[in-house]
Amino acid sequence: MVAVASTRHRGHPGAVSRGVWAALIGWTAVWAWLRAQPSGISWHFFPLGAQLMFHGPGLHLYAEHPELQIGPLTFLVTLPLTWLPAGSGLVCGQILMTAVLPLALAVIAPLVDPPRRGARILLAGLVLAPTWTVLSVRWGHLDDALALLLLCVAVRAARDDRAVLAGLALALAAGAKPWAVLGLPLLLLLSHRRGQAVATATIGTVLAWAPFLIADAGTLAAFRPPVGVSDSSTLSLVGYHGTSIPGWDRAAQLLLAPLAGLISVRRGAWAAALLCGIAVRLALDPQDIAYYAAGATLAAAAFDLLGTRWRIPWTTLLTAAVFWQPFVTDYAARLQLSHGASLWWFEHPHVVAASHLLWAVTALTLGVRYAPRPASRREASYAVDPDDLSWTAPTARTG
């Protein structure tokens, strides 16, 4: 049985104090400032895609620009930012993306066991901020930020037994970034109206993507974007190199990542579902970019906070360390500009790839073999039976 604090008791003494949130927001802001030069490395893709979708090829967007591996919902969110004066859209986008981190933690906070809840969330946030701001400020990937926030909403909604909201959150996440389909197994946590949730998620995802596929079969070209295989990616360990990714790769990510989460949920370790899904996604990704650490560490934090009772977020710490990457302003001259640990990282990409693969295997092991601890008498909680995945009220105890 897996136990989590009931979201029906938000006045519990374990509620997170304003001081914790203020400290997290301040800490995140400091790291956002530290990432500001240089920043917005990938941001140009977002206003470009928004302009092309609404004032260009429209539904032929992905067929003509397969390099835009970004969901239509993200372009819709980006569009108003393109109306701002030059440079202001990027700054507003960075602020919004950075704010996602404390917001995502606030969404899942009521699910964290009451004892030391505030301290545990604070420690997790302290570890998350340095990696999150690589995504939100340095690279500026709005699609990943939206998808990760919506996946947290889906976790919360599924545990609150809110079927429509869970399905809608997953549909919107997939509309922001396709790999977010890895969250679909979370719908099995619902005690009733699962069919309604699945229908909502399915219809929403179809509405987001089907128009592009119907309008232009060339949209499928986005499954094999014009990107190379990085030497520090796990695909390089099995012999894939060059400027073209394997034709099966994207499909494998979209199929195997949800399967990993499904196994985790069926085992009763639902808190590891996102971690397992993202582990598969990263293990099969042809690239190895620094902002990938944000999704991995947030999923690890969800596991630490919702699936364990330890105060120090060990999985999050380990994940942040494994996915650390040095940064140089001139990548072509990285061996000349780097020294110490940074130089070693650049000189040993296959060791880095092997460490990432080992992390993925470890994450999957947690999801498949992790034995959840039973509910204690101090917890007012609901539990998920891994056999029937139905909600059951815990037996009251006295004494």
pLDDT of residue 228: 87
pLDDT of residue 369: 78
Question: Could you count the other beta carbons within 10 Å of the beta carbon of residue 389?
Answer: 18
pLDDT of residue 11: 39
pLDDT of residue 372: 55
pLDDT of residue 399: 31
Name the nearest CA neighbour of 247 among 227, 223, 280, 231: 223
Query: How far apart are alpha carbons 157 and 150 in whole angstroms?
Result: 10
pLDDT of residue 245: 84
128-148: buried (b, 16+ CB within 10 Å) or exposed (e) per residue? bbbbbbbbbbbbbbbbbbbbb
Residue stretches of the chain with pLDDT short of 70: 1-14, 370-399
Query: How far apart are alpha carbons 218 and 197 in whole angstroms?
Result: 31
pLDDT of residue 373: 45
pLDDT of residue 256: 97
| Per-domain residue ranges of the chain | 2-392
pLDDT in tens, 110-137: 999 988 999 999 999 999 999 999 999 9
pLDDT in tens, 103-112: 999 999 999 9
